[in-house]
Structure 1
Amino acid sequence: MCGANSICNMDGNIPKCECLKGFVPKFPEQWNMSYWSSGCVQRFNSVCGDDNLGGFLAYKEMKLPDTSLSWYNKTMNLVECQKSCLKNCSCTAYSNLDIRNGGSGCVLWFGDLVDMRKFSQWGQEFYIRVPSSVLDEFEPAAVNGHQNKKKIGIIVGAISFGLVICVCLVILRKRVAARVYNIVPFQWQQEYFKVIKEDMDLPIVDLSIIVKATDNFSSGNKLGEGGFGPVYKGTLTDGKEVAIKRNSKMSDQGLDEFKNEVFMIAKLQHRNLVKLLGCCIEGEEKTLIYEYMPNRSLDYFIFDETRSKVLGWSQRSYIIAGIARGLLYLHHDSRLRIIHRDLKTSNILLDAHMNPKISDFGLARIFGVDQIEAKTKRMVGTYGYMPPEYAVHGHYSIKSDVFSFGVLVLEIISGKKNKGFSDPEHSLNLLGHAWRLWTENRPLELLDRHLLETCNSSEVFRCIHVGLLCVQQKPADRPDMSSVILMLNGEKLLPQPKMPGFYTGRGLPEAISSNQMSVTTFVAR
């Protein structure tokens, strides 16, 4: 996993790779995103000659490198082993062949060093050859080629003294490991790494990189906050800007939602879905790294009196079409058939060119190819976007997302929120208001006043028509997303919409708790 000249550190909850001292990542960009397999290379070229023999840095508690490119001698001692390595320009490391009874024999490595691991409780000491300039930099850890035999003797004595300790620690480690490996978080991490390894598309990012990228999760870098937790803007060492979503300890969403998003969105690729770049689970920290969307989310624009002017009708129409294409991919064209279950304006992100991208798959569910509907007792999501069959009975299907899409369409056209909007004359929410205008042959009055001079009235009319077809009360009456796209782009006559679900009423709560929901309180009307 770590490549050449790199050490796999097993001390923490999650293994991570570190370059040997005096070495640097071969491809820094990949290394920053925890693609370690390319390994490390020497920072300075080694000079081999009589005037510059270089020296050795000692590493302790190590699993020795792969011995494919090695040579050994059973009779040489450690001092002779070091001298033998110094005489050969291709020699890169040496160690005792046998660490029992104070150590004996000699092993020399040639070329790149591969498959090294560090353990905190057991392991062997070995010596890596480096240029003199690196020895000066790491003086405390250096065992210089010109040091006298007395210091070598001290080291050998220390190894023999530590042998007894190592034997005891090996036994203790096995007992401790038997308990540690049964801890639930560790089991989850093992499962997590197994899936990541299978996909090979999702890098594992070290927490220290995330902390540095966000300036230790500085409030100045905070972009917003959702059900999973706060989102921060981050800048990696290569200058790449990313969005980092950090799980909040106060959030109802936790390991299941994190796992769901990692396993699911990592398998999806579409221009209208936000791209997951990496993830991290280290201790209690759970973070997700996404491509950075400089224009934030859709609700940032359409519900603001000033910023809504930025989005003309052509851009809003383009956003509606992009969301529809993303949903069609989730429902029909991806290798997984996915129901998003939390489609709303804050989960539609906008890139630098105002391309819409569906985000936040923590509540999404996978459907079988022939599966039509599912039921849950744990209802999650946001009121105002939920269809009645889900909010009341817990039933969800692809038609649940179609309902949410219909609400989005009407919100984008009107610039008003479904939940929180109230028709002053009739106490209707946005769906009820749109339905009333439709039945009175005044649908264009729904349009955001900023769009009156720039819009195409026939396109607006068709979009309102499609939006009302999507929010019909019965799931069977709603079109699927493939039909929706044809409706938006076609010129054929559309069927007349029926009464929408949840088209009246006020004061519904903003979100559903994962364990305090009462499904008898609300009735679809």
Structure 2
Amino acid sequence: MENCLLSFITNIFCSLLFLKLLILKSCSSTIITPSQTIISDGETLVSAEQSFELGFFSPKRSNNRYVGLWYKKTPDIIVWVANRDNPITDSNVTFIITNNGKLALLNNRTKSIIWSINTSFAATRNPSVRLLDTGNLVVIDGDKDIYSFNNNTSDDDNSDYLWQSFDYPSDTFLAGMKLGWNFETGSQRYLTSWKTDDDPSTGDYIYWLSPRGLPQLFVSMKTTTTTKMVIKYRSGPWNGVHFGGTPKAPVFPLFKSFLVSNKDELYYTFKANVKSAVTRVKVNPTGLSDRLVLYNRSTQWSVLYTVPYEPCDNYGFCGANGICRMNRDPLCECLEGFVPRSEEEWKMLNWSSGCVRKMEFDCRVDSGDGFVKLVGIKFPDFLEFWSNKSMSLAECKQTCLSNCSCTTYTNLDIGRGSGCMIWFGNLVDVRELRIKVGDKKTKEGKVSEEGIYLRLPASVLESIHASKWKRRRLKIIIIVSLITIIFCILVLVILLAFWNKKSKGRDLIQQESNEEDLELPLYDLATIQFATNNFSPEYWIGAGGFGPVYKGKLLTGQEIAVKRLSKNSGQGVKEFKNEVQLIAKLQHRNLVSLFGCYIQGDERMLIYEYMPNRSLDHLIFDNDRSKTLGWEKHFDIVMGIARGLLYLHRDSKLQIIHRDLKASNILLDNNLNPKISDFGLAKIFGDDDKREASTRRIVGTYGYMAPEYAIDGKFSVKSDVFSFGVLLLEIVSGKRNRRFNHPDHHHNLLGHAWMLWNEGKSLDLLHSGLKGSCIDSHVVRCIQVGLLCVQKFPQDRPTMSSIVYMLENEGATSPQPGQPGFFVERKSSDEEYHSKSTNGDSSYSLNSVTMTLPNGR
């Protein structure tokens, strides 16, 4: 009888325990109250639509435990941490809500509070907590209408929130979150980086919105020697749509930005524009800020853009009164009317000293000072300024002329073309925009002057105007002398315009094909639209150097990648024909296959084989994927690239120089076999051609270009060898050359590898995840070959046939490598944010020309 009673009690206890667990697991649709535990270690709280999850976690290489929020679909992406500066090691803890509405992390053994929110709510009777599908953890008043709260699908009305995690962000900026200031409470919302990738405690970098002048976004670094912040990056002011100076938006606007400014608050937020993708912003422990996106059909996040991305993005890169231009060499030049402060430093490519005026202002009323308009630039930082919302542009000009300290003026309200903004003193952090924007018409039909007016003395203006007049007069003479020829050309263009576009488009490809007896399939537009669901955003898989790339599926079941050339891309008919002819003729297992093309008027498309494993950079720069494959597979990829490049240089009918070899242009098939892609910039050499050429148009990607090409425009097969060497060292190390940083020096990856080689420590370059799967001598040989490829002078670099031989043969004798090209120690005198003085930053060197989003196709 006693045994039966004991069994009955046990069953009752187990049933109650199971019911409690069931309640906990179903809390995605339940309001949790103080009578319940939110979560214990091992349990999670999930939002109603399974978007986000709250629970305990440990970083990859840490035994510490934290309460955090992550995406249900990608649980390794932590977006918020409660106790980031209060780690725990005891698993006997619970996350609770108290009777007065406080969230707290409780140690069950000692009954002590490890972490809690520092807010209490006196008028709260029955507080409760809920995880929203926006990723916002909120505390609400239980006396409110719980039913309506549970069924509120907008998640935008936060009037009933007693507390929310969105007010206390970690390192991630989510859709609907506010970044900025609450003037009533004096509080500020900003992102703070993790200390390291394995330590979520408060790091050194913050991502914040500045209210000074016009609103701008900053990435700043904390310093141990001073309370001031060192600025790493500045976006440029809000122009009514987005922040000026930020990278170009993707082909499809995945999100829409908003800036709210009134007497109570100033904040920046964004909302998703499509349901097929999720996007977020993260500030990294290194100070880089990434805009990332996750598509519905994917489990891996892609980087839309990173800032700072290029040298001109670094705050004050060219010093005071200097302007940074990415398509110029050198990158920095002084503004009109200014000269370098130190000619010697500028000759050494150290621009941090900035520029000074050729001649100071006279400051008399009749001095004749005037202005030149600068367009297509990021506005200077607002260090010393004055503004007036009601003043016209003409009044703004006179106000500037009447003040001897005024250096520049512009419209305060860019969108409406009204108001006055005046700068005093030095102009800092000026750069040329990636896309120049001229005057635009507003909704009211008025002209919005998107530019600044730089004040110059009368003598400087006279010399500028005289120089312009000489150039203008020369143009007039040329135009008059060629007027007859131009007229004939116009007549010819008009006649050609009546030509049948469809026949012309097909003849454009077929003519080149017939010359080589080439039969290239021509796809019709309906077939391509069906395969890509009419170019749906959900089928968008990336963007190459000349336009978006879509995944598609033909009626036969064949998967394809469609490269749709953008009408305003840099690739014209010549580059298009170049890529079509090249890939159609080339037959090699390590080159991407071209199935066909489409051309009609301005619309041009290439149809490739689809590469399911995306591009090489997603493999070698992803720690988890890289170490699971092991060294042998990495070496197979190296050999595949080398053989493909050898075919281009020696074994194909014509010698071909790729000119844009990089990790994102190496695609991987089902078996991770590498295939070289993107031949739009390739150069063909015939049998009688010289084996070296030069150009004034430098094309390629920063970090992979050979010195003789980037500086003098000279290219040859040895230029591709240099790019291959960079790629080989990146594969071995798992590090990017252009973003490489080391705590003990400021060399790039090439310089770091060469230093280790000279010290006999070359194996230290190997990615830690590959060390257990390789033979040391094999790795050392690869590093040696990589260093031979990136030597400064082209004649010192080996040919691709020698490279393949050295890599394949263990006993092959290889020469000792010399100093790499671009082996320079980069300066890192970061800007110190101050209201009246700044210093430059020269942390990067060579300019880049093209930008490619590295997604699979």
Closer/same/farther in 2, CA of residues 510 and 239 from structure 1, 3 Å limit: farther
- Determine if the alignment matches structure 1 residue 406 to structure 2 residue 725: yes
Secondary structure of the corresponding residue to residue 656 of structure 2: strand
The one-letter code of the counterpart of 1:222 is W
Q: Distance in 2 between matches of 1:177 and 1:502?
A: 50
Q: Displacement of 1:332 after TM fit?
A: 0.5
Question: Which of residues 506, 509, 512 is equivalent to 1:195?
Answer: 512
The 5 Å alignment of 1:189-338 reads 189-198=506-515, 199-338=517-656
Q: Displacement of 1:424 after TM fit?
A: 2.2
Q: Distance in 2 between matches of 1:184 and 1:381?
A: 32
- Determine if the alignment matches structure 1 residue 454 to structure 2 residue 744: no
Q: In the alignment, what sits opposite 1:435?
A: 754
Closer/same/farther in 2, CA of residues 441 and 212 from structure 1, 3 Å limit: same
CA deviations on 1:140-170 (whole Å, 9 max, x unpaired) are: xxxxxxxxxxxxxxxxxxxxxxxxxxxxxxx
CA deviations on 1:489-516 (whole Å, 9 max, x unpaired) are: 12122110000001233424673169xx
Question: Which of residues 493, 499, 508 is equivalent to 2:819?
Answer: 499
Q: In the alignment, what sits opposite 2:700?
A: 381
- Determine if the alignment matches structure 1 residue 479 to structure 2 residue 816: no
Q: Distance in 2 between matches of 1:510 and 1:216?
A: 37
Q: In the alignment, what sits opposite 2:711?
A: 392
Q: Displacement of 1:232 after TM fit?
A: 0.8
Structure 1: unaligned runs, 5 residues or longer: 1-175, 515-525
The 5 Å alignment of 1:5-404 reads 179-180=496-497, 189-198=506-515, 199-369=517-687, 371-404=690-723
Q: Distance in 1 between matches of 2:750 and 2:846?
A: 17
Q: Distance in 1 between matches of 2:519 and 2:746?
A: 50
Q: Distance in 1 between matches of 2:701 and 2:494?
A: 43
On the 8 A contact 1:430/1:503 being kept in 2, the answer is no
Q: Distance in 2 between matches of 1:222 and 1:513?
A: 20
Q: Distance in 1 between matches of 2:501 and 2:621?
A: 43
Secondary structure of the corresponding residue to residue 550 of structure 2: strand
Q: Displacement of 1:201 after TM fit?
A: 3.4
Q: Displacement of 1:254 after TM fit?
A: 3.1
Closer/same/farther in 2, CA of residues 508 and 310 from structure 1, 3 Å limit: farther
Q: Distance in 2 between matches of 1:498 and 1:266?
A: 38
CA deviations on 1:411-435 (whole Å, 9 max, x unpaired) are: 0000000111122211011001101
The one-letter code of the counterpart of 1:489 is E
Q: In the alignment, what sits opposite 2:355?
A: none
Measured on the aligned residues, the alpha-carbon RMSD in Å equals: 2.3
The one-letter code of the counterpart of 2:788 is L
Secondary structure of the corresponding residue to residue 494 of structure 1: coil
Secondary structure of the corresponding residue to residue 432 of structure 1: helix
Q: Distance in 2 between matches of 1:183 and 1:472?
A: 52
Q: Displacement of 1:481 after TM fit?
A: 0.4
Q: Distance in 2 between matches of 1:346 and 1:359?
A: 9
Q: Displacement of 1:304 after TM fit?
A: 1.7
Q: Distance in 1 between matches of 2:693 and 2:502?
A: 29
Q: What TM-score do the two structures reach when normalised by structure 1?
A: 0.62
On the 8 A contact 1:228/1:254 being kept in 2, the answer is no
The one-letter code of the counterpart of 2:518 is M
The one-letter code of the counterpart of 1:232 is Y
Deviates more, 1:178-187 or 1:426-435: 178-187
Q: Distance in 2 between matches of 1:314 and 1:272?
A: 18
The one-letter code of the counterpart of 1:512 is V
Q: Displacement of 1:181 after TM fit?
A: 5.2
Q: In the alignment, what sits opposite 1:466?
A: 785
Q: Distance in 2 between matches of 1:397 and 1:190?
A: 32
Q: Distance in 2 between matches of 1:444 and 1:186?
A: 59
Q: Displacement of 1:240 after TM fit?
A: 0.4
Deviates more, 1:233-242 or 1:189-198: 189-198
Closer/same/farther in 2, CA of residues 207 and 379 from structure 1, 3 Å limit: same
Secondary structure of the corresponding residue to residue 773 of structure 2: coil
On the 8 A contact 1:229/1:247 being kept in 2, the answer is yes
On the 8 A contact 1:297/1:345 being kept in 2, the answer is yes
Q: Distance in 1 between matches of 2:506 and 2:847?
A: 34
Q: Distance in 1 between matches of 2:502 and 2:706?
A: 36
Secondary structure of the corresponding residue to residue 452 of structure 1: helix
Q: Displacement of 1:187 after TM fit?
A: 5.2
The one-letter code of the counterpart of 2:730 is E
Q: Distance in 2 between matches of 1:365 and 1:329?
A: 14
On the 8 A contact 2:726/2:750 being kept in 1, the answer is yes
Q: Distance in 1 between matches of 2:500 and 2:706?
A: 40
Q: What TM-score do the two structures reach when normalised by structure 2?
A: 0.38
Q: Distance in 1 between matches of 2:602 and 2:508?
A: 17
Q: Displacement of 1:182 after TM fit?
A: 5.7
Q: In the alignment, what sits opposite 1:512?
A: 849
Between structures 1 and 2, the one with greater helix share: 1
Higher relative contact order (CA 8 A, sep 6+): 1
On the 8 A contact 1:180/1:186 being kept in 2, the answer is no
On the 8 A contact 1:383/1:508 being kept in 2, the answer is no
Secondary structure of the corresponding residue to residue 286 of structure 1: strand
On the 8 A contact 1:387/1:403 being kept in 2, the answer is yes
On the 8 A contact 1:273/1:357 being kept in 2, the answer is yes
- Determine if the alignment matches structure 1 residue 420 to structure 2 residue 734: no
Corresponding residue pairs, total: 340
Q: Distance in 1 between matches of 2:501 and 2:765?
A: 53
CA deviations on 1:362-402 (whole Å, 9 max, x unpaired) are: 00000133522100111100011000000000000000000
The one-letter code of the counterpart of 1:495 is P
Q: Distance in 1 between matches of 2:544 and 2:845?
A: 19
CA deviations on 1:279-311 (whole Å, 9 max, x unpaired) are: 001232211000111111100111123222233
Q: Distance in 2 between matches of 1:388 and 1:189?
A: 40
Q: Distance in 2 between matches of 1:192 and 1:290?
A: 16
Q: Displacement of 1:179 after TM fit?
A: 4.7
Structure 2: unaligned runs, 5 residues or longer: 1-492, 827-842, 852-857
Q: Displacement of 1:253 after TM fit?
A: 2.4
Q: Distance in 2 between matches of 1:197 and 1:236?
A: 27
| Identical pairs, percent | 58
Q: In the alignment, what sits opposite 1:113?
A: none
